[in-house]
Amino acid sequence: MDSVEIKGEDFQQRIFVGTSGDNVHISAMVVGGSTYMSINVQEAKKMIKALEQAIQQALEDSYDWAYEAKEEARIDALFDARYAEEDE
């Protein structure tokens, strides 16, 4: 298997995923250091499950933030409109 590169959010962050014999090989590189490890197939499956759960949570959190921002803007607009009428 060719190694797959996954880019991080910050400058020069990378994770590489490949195989090493019958194990999955993971390398992480960041500014100032790097690390690697090999895990067996069962642990790799646990990692996939954990990533799927984290992705789902991130999607839910981003929806919550978007909803809260819209609701706050709506309340601010109502507040502004109410007090604009009193000034007239």
Give the pLDDT of residue 77.
81
pLDDT (tens digit per residue) in 68-86: 777 788 788 877 776 766 5
Backbone φ and ψ of 34, nearest 5°: -155, 165
What is the tens place of the pLDDT at every residue in 51-73? Answer: 999 999 888 877 766 677 777 88
pLDDT score recorded for residue 47: 96
Q: What is the largest CA-CA distance in the chain?
A: 78
Task: Give the predicted TM-score (pTM) of the model.
Answer: 0.65
**φ/ψ (deg, to 5) at 73:** -65, -40
Average of per-residue pLDDT across 13-30:
96
